[in-house]
């Protein structure tokens, strides 16, 4: 027990040290795009979601983790907002039916995505493109601003190279109002009237992330873009985000996604495997092979037979063979050999399948040998052959 306790304490100590070191180590910046209200990483939307209470003062701000059709199928409200931000937006036909019905009733939908494809683009007659900048060494290559004089800023909003390159190449001008452009005079923000409501569509989702919210005056861009929407109760989408609705949150997933816990978890598994391997080797003993007990009766008879044979006493050999034969019948067939009557022969015949006549002939010969004063070698050989024949037939 003392040896086991020592190994366990060492493993626990290593585990605690690894957790402490990993927990206190500098965390690398996570540059993945989540666009989630929960994430404070550069490309999360924690800051924007916190702004919503200021953009829509006094109104209810809620979030949805379900598809559009689940969220809107029982929604009869009018004059509310729905905000969806993601790099790639996949809205199927069923979602689009509920979304367009929602807008027709007088509600507003704000969507920011790099490109618009599928049923939504077909319905609103949209297409998008990308203005690539070959000068990758220039960080602030493209800037944004608003076309509406009430929203326009004297100073453009500048962004990191490659983050706001997308723009609209086609839209239905009969019901579309241009709200914003970039420094290349490409349209990046529009309002599309639809029934009694409107779609507010942007091609620069990264402009609404934490990284740009705290860079220069870019936080003002988010505020002005969303202030185009009516001041109303607002639903924030958490479903159309990268991987958020495709994977379940489990304790193991949380451990594996936390660097400190992940290292400690793998270390614990490796330590347990090493403990099982080396501790098992140390304690395991060779299991001795226990041979089954041998039937030494035949060997005993052979030994006694050789002894009598060497002394030349055939009667003794015959006596031992007969005695062993009777003992075999008693132990194997559970038949009494003291009285050799008709009942004895019938019972033995049933159990050995040897005819009664053959059995009577065998035991008559045995009685003759027992009654003889001397036994010659031929008689001994005959006795041995008849007994061996019985053994052979009953196998």
**Range from 30-34, 168-172, 353-357, 371-375 carrying the lowest mean pLDDT:** 371-375
State whether 164 and 82 are in the same domain. yes
As a whole number, mean pLDDT of residues 262-272 equals 79
Phi first, then psi, for residue 290 (nearest 5°) are -100, 110
State whether 63 and 210 are in the same domain. yes
State whether 94 and 222 are in the same domain. yes
Q: Report percent pLDDT > 70 for the chain.
A: 82
State whether 215 and 333 are in the same domain. no
Q: What stretches of the chain show up as alpha helix (H) in DSSP?
A: 2-24, 46-55, 68-72, 93-104, 118-124, 210-213, 218-226, 251-257, 259-283, 297-311, 314-333, 342-352, 356-371, 377-393
As a whole number, mean pLDDT of residues 23-48 equals 86
Closest CA relative to residue 272, chosen from 1, 18, 15: 15
Strand (E) or helix (H) holding 43: none
State whether 330 and 220 are in the same domain. no
**Block residue for tokens 């004063």:** 373
State whether 86 and 217 are in the same domain. yes
Residue 105 is assigned to a structural domain of this protein: yes
As a whole number, mean pLDDT of residues 182-194 equals 95
- Report the C-alpha gap between 333 and 78 in whole angstroms: 98
Beta carbons of 51 and 227 less than 8 angstroms apart: no
Q: Dihedral of CA 379/380/381/382: which sign? A: positive
Strand 61-64 versus strand 234-237 pairing type: parallel
Q: Decide which of 241, 259, 280 is a domain's last residue.
A: 241
Checking if the pLDDT of 45 tops 50, the result is: yes
Checking if the pLDDT of 174 tops 80, the result is: yes
State whether 232 and 132 are in the same domain. yes
Q: How confident is the model at residue 309 (pLDDT cuts 50, 70, 90)?
A: low
What residues make up the domain containing 364? 297-393
State whether 109 and 218 are in the same domain. yes
Beta carbons of 196 and 104 less than 8 angstroms apart: yes
Confidence (pTM): 0.59
Q: Decide which of 241, 258, 278 is a domain's last residue.
A: 241
State whether 54 and 175 are in the same domain. yes
In Å, what is the CA distance from 248 to each residue of 15, 245, 252?
Answer: 27, 7, 10
Checking if the pLDDT of 392 tops 80, the result is: yes
Checking if the pLDDT of 254 tops 90, the result is: no
Q: Is residue 185 helix, strand or coil? A: coil
Q: Decide which of 213, 241, 269 is a domain's last residue.
A: 241
State whether 218 and 307 are in the same domain. no
* Between residues 377 and 102, the one the model is more confident about: 102
303 token code pair: 């030994």
Checking if the pLDDT of 121 tops 90, the result is: yes
Residue 176 is assigned to a structural domain of this protein: yes
Q: Dihedral of CA 44/228/128/153: which sign? A: negative
Q: Is residue 21 helix, strand or coil? A: helix
Looking at residue 7, its pLDDT comes to: 66
CB-based burial, 51-72: b 16+ in 10 Å, e otherwise: bbeebbeeeebebbeebbeebb
Looking at residue 378, its pLDDT comes to: 86
Mean model confidence pLDDT for the chain: 84
Looking at residue 283, its pLDDT comes to: 60
As a whole number, mean pLDDT of residues 229-239 equals 95
**Range from 49-63, 117-131, 245-259, 337-351 carrying the lowest mean pLDDT:** 245-259
6 burial via Cβ count (<10 Å: 0-12, 13-18, 19+): exposed
CATH code where residue 161 lies? 3.40.50
Residue 13 is assigned to a structural domain of this protein: no
As a whole number, mean pLDDT of residues 383-394 equals 87
State whether 229 and 334 are in the same domain. no
Q: Dihedral of CA 81/97/169/211: which sign? A: positive
Residue 159 is assigned to a structural domain of this protein: yes
Q: Dihedral of CA 222/227/228/231: which sign? A: positive
344 token code pair: 């004895």
Checking if the pLDDT of 6 tops 90, the result is: no
Condensed to tens digits (0 to 9), the pLDDT of residues 271-299 reads: 778 777 766 665 656 677 777 666 555 56
- Report the C-alpha gap between 144 and 179 in whole angstroms: 11
Looking at residue 246, its pLDDT comes to: 47
- Report the C-alpha gap between 63 and 243 in whole angstroms: 17
Q: How confident is the model at residue 146 (pLDDT cuts 50, 70, 90)?
A: very high
Structural domain count, the chain: 2
- Report the C-alpha gap between 26 and 21 in whole angstroms: 10
Condensed to tens digits (0 to 9), the pLDDT of residues 313-327 reads: 778 778 888 888 888
State whether 237 and 324 are in the same domain. no
* Between residues 35 and 3, the one the model is more confident about: 35
Looking at residue 34, its pLDDT comes to: 92
Q: How confident is the model at residue 141 (pLDDT cuts 50, 70, 90)?
A: low
**Ramachandran assignment for 375, one of left (phi > 0), alpha (psi -120 to 50 degrees), beta (any other):** beta
Residue 29 is assigned to a structural domain of this protein: no
**Block residue for tokens 């029982």:** 74
Condensed to tens digits (0 to 9), the pLDDT of residues 74-115 reads: 777 789 999 999 998 888 899 999 999 999 999 999 999 999
136 token code pair: 């990758």
User: Which of 6-15, 222-231, 351-360 is most confident?
Assistant: 222-231
**Ramachandran assignment for 46, one of left (phi > 0), alpha (psi -120 to 50 degrees), beta (any other):** alpha
Residue 65 is assigned to a structural domain of this protein: yes
Hey, how many other C-beta atoms are within 10 angstroms of the C-beta on 32? 12
- Report the C-alpha gap between 307 and 294 in whole angstroms: 22
Q: How many CA atoms lie within 13 A of 71 on its CB side?
A: 22
Residue 53 is assigned to a structural domain of this protein: yes
Residue 356 is assigned to a structural domain of this protein: yes
Looking at residue 20, its pLDDT comes to: 72
**Block residue for tokens 């960080």:** 139
As a whole number, mean pLDDT of residues 294-305 equals 59
């Amino acid at each position: 027990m003392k040896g086991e306790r020592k190994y366990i304490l060492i493993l626990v100590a290593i585990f605690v040290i690894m957790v402490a070191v990993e927990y206190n180590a500098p965390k690398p910046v996570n540059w993945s795009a989540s666009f989630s209200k929960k994430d404070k990483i550069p490309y999360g939307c924690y800051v924007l979601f916190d702004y919503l209470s200021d953009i829509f003062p006094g109104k209810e701000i809620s979030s949805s983790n379900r598809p559009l059709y689940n969220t809107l199928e029982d929604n009869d409200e009018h004059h509310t907002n729905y905000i969806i931000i993601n790099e790639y937006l996949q809205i199927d036909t069923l979602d689009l039916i509920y979304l367009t019905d929602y807008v027709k009733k007088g509600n507003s939908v704000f969507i920011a995505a790099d490109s618009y494809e599928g049923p939504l683009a077909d319905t609103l007659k949209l297409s998008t493109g990308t203005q690539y900048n070959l000068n990758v060494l220039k960080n602030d290559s493209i800037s944004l601003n608003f076309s509406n004089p009430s929203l326009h800023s004297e100073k453009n909003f500048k962004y990191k190279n490659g983050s706001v390159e997308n723009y609209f190449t086609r839209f239905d001008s009969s019901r579309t109002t241009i709200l914003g452009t970039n420094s290349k005079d490409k349209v990046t923000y529009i309002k599309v009237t639809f029934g009694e409501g409107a779609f507010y569509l942007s091609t620069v989702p990264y402009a609404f992330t934490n990284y740009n919210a705290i860079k220069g005056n870019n936080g003002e861009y988010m505020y002005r873009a969303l202030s185009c929407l009516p001041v109303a109760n607002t639903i924030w989408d958490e479903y159309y985000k990268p991987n958020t609705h495709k994977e379940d949150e489990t304790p193991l997933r949380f451990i594996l996604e936390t660097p400190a816990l992940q290292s400690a978890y793998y270390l614990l598994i490796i330590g347990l495997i090493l403990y099982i391997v080396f501790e098992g080797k140390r304690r395991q003993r060779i299991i001795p092979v226990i041979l089954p007990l041998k039937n030494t009766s035949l060997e005993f008879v052979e030994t006694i037979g050789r002894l009598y044979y060497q002394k030349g006493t055939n009667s003794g050999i015959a006596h031992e063979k007969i005695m062993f034969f009777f003992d075999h019948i008693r132990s194997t067939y559970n038949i009494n050999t003291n009285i050799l009557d008709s009942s004895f022969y019938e019972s033995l015949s049933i159990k050995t399948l040897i005819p009664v006549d053959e059995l009577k002939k065998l035991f008559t010969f045995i009685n003759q040998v027992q009654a003889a004063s001397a036994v010659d070698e031929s008689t001994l050989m005959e006795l041995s052959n008849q007994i061996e024949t019985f053994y052979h037939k009953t196998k």
